[in-house]
Amino acid sequence: MFLLILIGSLVMFGRQGPPTEFRDANDALSASDMSQSKNQGPPAFSDACPQSESERTANLEEAVKDGYAIGRVGFFGNQNTRDLVLRKRILLEEGEPLTREKIEESLKRLSKLEMIYPLRFANFEIQLDRANKIAHLTICVTEKRKRK
């Protein structure tokens, strides 16, 4: 049975695995980070999003300065936790003005959930739709393993 699933995965995604948008959040870590986290036990924080800090900061500053509205807010890395559970904790609503304070408070509120590791500023990506002045956000989370 396992062999059939493995063969089906190789046929569907090729040898490289699933497309990057479907890969596990751990892919954002370097090999040295992954080996350290294996030796040190569970991570202290959720894994960061792949967007560079300089790009994230520049996009956020532009969005706040130019009055961008919040567009789509998505989550990455939550395989077991429903989006609705995460969405109830955030202050980011589509159409409202984007502020750094809303992002920071949303990350703080999400960090209080017991099923994910705490979040930092590196745990979100911001993509700008400059033509429409809309900022789309992705929040990257790492779930804790369920206790048996």
Residue 43, class by beta-carbon neighbours within 10 Å (0-12 exposed, 13-18 middle, 19+ buried)? middle
Domains of the chain: 45-140 (3.10.20.310)
- What are the pLDDT tens digits along the chain (148 aa)? 433 343 443 333 343 333 333 333 333 333 334 333 444 556 677 788 999 999 999 999 999 999 999 999 999 999 999 999 999 999 999 999 999 999 999 999 999 999 999 999 999 999 999 999 999 999 999 999 876 6
74 three-state secondary structure: strand
Residue 125, class by beta-carbon neighbours within 10 Å (0-12 exposed, 13-18 middle, 19+ buried)? buried
Rg (CA), the chain: 17
Q: How far is CA 100 from CA 8, 84, 131, in A?
A: 44, 22, 21
Closest CA to 137 of 85, 80, 69, 79: 69
Q: Looking at 15-143, list the stretches that DSSP marks H as alpha helix, in order from N- to C-terminal side.
A: 31-40, 53-65, 83-87, 100-111
Instruction: Report pLDDT digits (tens) over 67-107.
Output: 999 999 999 999 999 999 999 999 999 999 999 999 999 99
